[in-house]
Amino acid sequence: MYSIRVSHHKMSFSAAHFVLEAGGCERLHGHNYFVEIYVEGPVDDLGMVMDFRDLKRDAIGICEKMDHRFLIPGDSEAIHFTKEADCYRIVVSEKEYVLPMSDCVILPITATTSEYLAEHIARSLDLPEGLSVEVCVQENVGSQGCYRIPST
């Protein structure tokens, strides 16, 4: 089986978030996230698993949507948010945040951990059929979460 690995300085995003912890909500903080993608499968008639450029372009577009945003886990049962005029009111544990909608992105995940961010990116990629993909999201040097989708 063949594979390709891609990373690029534009396959990154800076974002704010918080995660739930035992007894409440971790403080609001941010990271400079870096994304790496591994794709495995057979080569095509040109000898490629897929074109590096297509994969990078797709990943950069996904990262741009999260860059300089507050990440909201839209599928969380513990984090509640409502729209108010042009703002989101976010309530978790005993904390409340009010942020402009333009500064937020609601993601279809239950928590904004690196693991779930990797899953979101992996599921958002436009890949040819028959390939497996693993996405890793690094939030600090030496700390990354990964998600793998096996080939179909």
Q: Name the token pair of 69.
A: 């945003």
The alpha helices in the chain, defined as continuous H runs, are 52-66, 114-124
Which residues, in sequence order, are CB contacts of 126 under 8 Å at separation 6+?
Answer: 58
Identify the active-site residue in 21, 26, 68, 96: 68
Identify the active-site residue in 8, 25, 64, 115: 25
Query: Is 139 an active-site residue?
Result: yes
Residue 6's closest CA among 60, 42, 70? 60
Query: Is 25 an active-site residue?
Result: yes
Query: Is 9 an active-site residue?
Result: no
Identify the active-site residue in 36, 119, 134, 139: 139
Catalytic (active-site) positions? 25, 68, 139
